[in-house]
Amino acid sequence: MTGPAARLTPPIAITMGDPSGIGPEIVVKLAADPARPDADLLVVGDVGLLRRTAERLDVALWITAASHASEAVGRERSVLTVLQPGADLPEDLPIGRVDARSGAAAHAYVQAAIDLALAGEARAIVTAPLNKEAMAAAGIGYPGHTEILADRCGVSDFAMMLANDELRVLLVSIHLSLADAIAAVTPASELRAIRLAHQAGLAFGLAKPRVAVAGLNPHAGENGMFGREDMEIIAPAVAEAKREGIEASGPWPGDTVFMRARRGEFDVVVAQYHDQGLIPVKYLGVENGVNITVGLPFVRTSVDHGTAFDIAGQGVADPASLSYALKQAIAMTRPRAGR
């Protein structure tokens, strides 16, 4: 067969994350795991550091440099293909400490992966953790992956979703102080989040996702007794989403809505701010959580943990969250009828 139909599926690009953290270790462990999710992988990172990491961990993995993403297609599972943007990292780069060179490298890996995804040369992006302080030391003014991705893709309607086998939670605001997060509760931001939660549910293969919206105040404001935002801002946004055909409900009290979602009443919960949404997901176990950026022109998933400088270089980092993020990226890019 010839022509577009004969083209092989592009690989999934995995960024190595901050070189001083656990990113290199969990990437190597994932790649060497014979039971890892089945997909062609292309790591965007430093070839030398990954080879040294594999040697230190004593894993049987052949790490080869590539100049194009297509070189990762059809490789044996014992071969890890690496695309390296920029010069080699120094061998004496400190492990487990903030370093501007690591911050700059981690940022470069993300940018290169975005290039691949936008060009259609990567099926999805899966990201290992970066360190905000290291990026700031390198003069990079982004608070995290989500903002980098949205800026490069030129999208304003985007959100962070945390998901595991029991919960899917999408955030109205991401990396803001609590005071700023409360100020960010507006009719427009609420409706945008509900729409994105609906979109994410469709990407998971749900025909009509049930979107629950968590309240901002205790007891969702109790009809204005504990604040009027739920009644005057959130409830009208939910009503507008219903008029658009979205199966939305709320605002529901934040202390029970996540429990109800776990029991199967809702498919996605819209949380009002960072900790309200992330605490219940992470309480269930970061090893089974995945961070998803909703609203991009491609699929991006990530681990549900940070760079873990306290255990970096010790050989004890668990790749389970990275494996789960890869599994979700595969599921979200699998062809479906009607897509």
Each domain of the chain, given as residue ranges in start order, spans 1-154+287-339, 165-284
- CATH number assigned to the domain covering 1-154+287-339: 3.40.718.10
Q: CB of 11 within 8 A of CB of 122?
A: yes
Supply φ then ψ for residue 126, to 5 degrees: -120, 125
Residue 241 C-alpha from the chain's centroid: 25
d(CA 291, CA 303): 6
- The strand pair at 268-271 and 210-214 is best described as parallel
- pLDDT value of position 3: 39
- pLDDT value of position 286: 64
Please determine whether the domains at 1-154+287-339 and 165-284 fall in the same fold group of CATH: yes
Q: Which residues pair with 276 in a beta bridge?
A: none
Mean pLDDT by 10 residues, the chain (339 residues): 52 98 97 93 98 95 96 94 96 95 97 97 96 95 87 90 91 92 96 95 90 96 92 97 97 97 97 94 78 92 92 95 93 65
Containing H/E element for 321? Answer: helix 320-332
Quick one: 238 exposed, middle or buried, by C-beta within 10 A (0-12, 13-18, 19+)?
A: buried
Determine the angle formed by the axes of helices 47-57 and 23-32, rounding to 10 degrees.
Answer: 70
- pLDDT value of position 335: 65
Supply φ then ψ for residue 228, to 5 degrees: -105, 0
To which CATH superfamily is domain 165-284 assigned? Isopropylmalate Dehydrogenase (3.40.718.10)
Q: What is the pTM of this model?
A: 0.84
d(CA 252, CA 230): 9
